[in-house]
Structures are given as C-alpha cells and as structure tokens.
C-alpha cells in the first residue's frame, strides 16, 4: 500500500453527557434525548484508495471487535456503494484503541469515519442525502458521528440539533471490561410498545461556561444507568472510584454502559486521577481525555 496516497480520519469516542429515555415507539425502538460530546480518545482509520474494498483491524482492542467482514466500516461503505455507482473505495486499516460495545459508540464512530474518508475521496458533501441515508441505515449513533461536534440528538438518533458551542472539559473515561448488551439494558427499563415516560425538552441555552454546562448535565442524568448497574454492579464501583478522585466535578455512565466518565476542574487533575485508577485497577481500561 502506498503511504503517500493514504488518507486518515480519527474516530473519536462519543460520550452521552445526558441520556433521557422518553418512551418506546410502536415499532419497538426507544425515543431518546441526549447531549452528546466527543472525546480526544479515538480510534484511527486509514484508507488507501484502490480497486477492491477491504479491511484490516489492529490495535489493543482489535480482538474484541469481531471478524473484519462483519465490521460496520465495511457495512457502511457497501451501503454507500450500492447507492452511488462508480464509487471509489479501497483498503481500510482500523487501529482500535477504544473498548468495544462499551457505550462510547466506537463502531459507529468507525463507520462514520469510513464515510467521511470515502466522501472526501469522491467529492461528496457530508450532508449529501445518500450519505445521511446510509448513516441512518448503518446504526442509530452513526449520524451524530458523521460530523463529530457537540449536539443534542433525539428520536432514535436521527434528529440532531446544530452544533453547540460548549467549553472543553478535562475528563477521565473508565471501562471495567464487562459486557452490557444494549438490548438487555433497555429491556430492564421495561417499557411496552407505545408507552411514553417523558417529553422532549427545549434545546439548551447558553452552555459556553463549564459551570452552566455541568449544571445542565447534573440536572438531566442518564436514565439507563440504574438498569445497567442492575446487570453489572461493577459500574457502581467505577462511579464511586471516579467520584473519590480529587477535582472530580461529576461522574456518570455513558450511553448504555459500561464505560463511565468523570469531569474534572483541570487537565492535571484528570491525568492524576487516571494514573491513580490505572494503578488501583489494572484490569480496567482508563484514559485521561478531553470532551468537546
């Protein structure tokens, strides 16, 4: 493969600062409302344009990501190629560093990065209706990952606000390495088809100051957190460990789990907390990062 021709995209972790479950639709899907940000912690995807589509997966969490042929990277690109004749694709190399099935949207972020690379290679705009259609068909989190900037996502992830002006937040991500199937977490909520448990709120106002942002986040919560803790009590241990760290301003689970995050007052505090947690729990995946 020619390094000169390779194109690279980061696939940043998606973090749900808030996650409200508003109800369950008649088709079985859940309506949600979530303030989403993206972390500096990320996978990386490289594309070498060529005549045949392929994928290699490498990196510390590659083994957990399954067979390359089933990866969302290939699924997304195949869907786009089916809609656009003559699409130039090529061989992808995915460097996996994010934990898999962890509430960070890693697979969706990878698929979105693949769509950005192919769009760039073929002169497609990121708001091309065919690309957006493919993103929605590939997975509920893929649309918000196409242009990874802070937003509120609603519905089944298909309704997005314009990007929000949020401050950068020093943070720590922790995954205890336990499986939390999304289907089981939603099942634990126990909503029947057509049942409503809440209503959508107006778009947030000015959240450009960290205090305003954290006050908003503290008031919204993650409705899936109690259900996930029931399935995997270690999540509560992670949240408690994060909350004990000096400078922690808020600790919460992201998405359907099991990854948890904590926001800190300063980057040095986040780095110190990550180092302390990694020493205390070497089996946990721990990263100091920044949200924005």
DSSP calls for the chain: --GGG-EEEEEEEEEES-BEEEEE-TTSPEEEEEEEEEEEEEEEEEEEEESS-EEEEESTTSGGG--GGG-HHHHHHHHHHHHSTT--EEEEEEE--SPSSSSS-HHHHHHHHHHHHHHHHHT--TT-HHHHHHHHHH-TTHHHHHS-S-EEEEETTTEEPPPP----EEEEEEE-S----HHHHHHHH-PPTT-B---PPPPP----SHHHHHHHHHHH-BTTHHHHHHH-THHHHHHHHHHTSTTEEEEEE-TTSS-EEEEESSHHHHHHHHHHHHHH-TTSEEEEEEE-
Active-site entry in 14, 31, 96, 223: 14
Q: How confident is the model at residue 1 (pLDDT cuts 50, 70, 90)?
A: very low
Predicted local confidence at residue 3, as pLDDT: 47
Which of 98-102, 164-168, 214-218, 224-228 is predicted least confidently? 98-102
- Neighbouring CB atoms inside 10 A of 97's CB total 17
The label of the residue with tokens 């106002």 reads 205
Using CA of residue 230, residue 143, residue 249, residue 274, what is the dihedral sign?
positive
The answer to whether 98 touches 106, Cβ cutoff 8 Å, is: yes
pTM, to two decimals = 0.94
- Tell me: pLDDT of 131 over 70: yes
Confidence of residue 37 (pLDDT cuts 50, 70, 90): very high
Q: What is the pLDDT of residues 67-90, one digit of tens each?
A: 988 899 999 999 999 999 999 999
Per-chain mean pLDDT for the chain: 95
Residue 96 a catalytic site member: no
Question: For the chain, what percent of residues have pLDDT higher than 90?
Answer: 92
Instruction: Indicate the range of 147-151, 185-189, 232-236, 250-254 predicted with least confidence.
Output: 185-189
Reply yes or no on whether 14 is catalytic.
Answer: yes
Active-site residue identified among 31, 43, 110, 141:
141
Q: Is the pLDDT of residue 2 over 50?
A: no
Can you give the pLDDT at residue 66?
87
* Residue 41's pLDDT band (cuts 50, 70, 90): very high
Tell whether the model's pLDDT for residue 62 goes beyond 70: yes
Write the pLDDT tens digit of every residue in 223-252.
999 999 999 999 999 999 999 999 999 999
Distance, CA of 143 to CA of 157 (rounded, Å): 7
Whether residue 167 is predicted with pLDDT greater than 60 in this model: the reply is yes
User: Per-residue pLDDT for 276 more than 50?
Assistant: yes
pLDDT of 69 reads 87
Determine the average pLDDT of the residues in 156-171: 96
């Amino acid at each position: 493969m020619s390094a000169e021709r390779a194109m690279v995209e980061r696939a940043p972790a998606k973090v749900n600062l808030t996650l409200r479950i508003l109800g369950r639709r008649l088709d079985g899907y859940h309506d949600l409302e979530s303030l989403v940000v993206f972390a500096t912690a990320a996978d990386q995807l490289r594309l070498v344009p060529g005549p045949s589509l392929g994928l290699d997966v490498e990196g510390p969490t590659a083994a957990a990501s399954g067979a390359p042929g089933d990866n969302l990277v290939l699924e997304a690109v195949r869907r786009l190629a089916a809609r656009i004749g003559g699409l130039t694709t090529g061989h992808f190399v995915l460097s996996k560093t994010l934990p898999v099935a962890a509430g960070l949207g890693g697979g969706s972020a990878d698929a979105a990065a693949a769509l950005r690379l192919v769009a760039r290679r073929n002169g497609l705009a990121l708001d091309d209706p065919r690309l957006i259609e493919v993103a929605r068909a590939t997975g509920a989190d893929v649309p918000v990952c196409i242009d990874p900037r802070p937003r509120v996502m609603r519905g089944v992830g298909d309704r997005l606000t314009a990007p929000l002006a949020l401050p950068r937040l020093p943070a720590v991500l922790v995954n205890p390495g336990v499986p939390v199937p999304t289907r089981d977490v939603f099942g634990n909520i126990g909503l029947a088809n057509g049942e409503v448990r809440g209503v959508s709120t107006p778009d947030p106002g000015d959240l450009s100051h960290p205090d305003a942002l954290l006050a908003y986040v503290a008031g919204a919560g993650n409705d899936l957190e109690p259900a996930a803790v029931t399935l995997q009590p270690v999540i509560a241990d992670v949240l408690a460990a994060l909350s004990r760290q000096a400078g922690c301003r808020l600790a919460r689970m992201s998405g359907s789990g099991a990854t948890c995050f904590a926001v800190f007052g300063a980057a040095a505090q986040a780095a110190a907390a990550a180092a302390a947690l990694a020493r205390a729990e070497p089996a946990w995946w721990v990263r100091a990062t920044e949200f924005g």
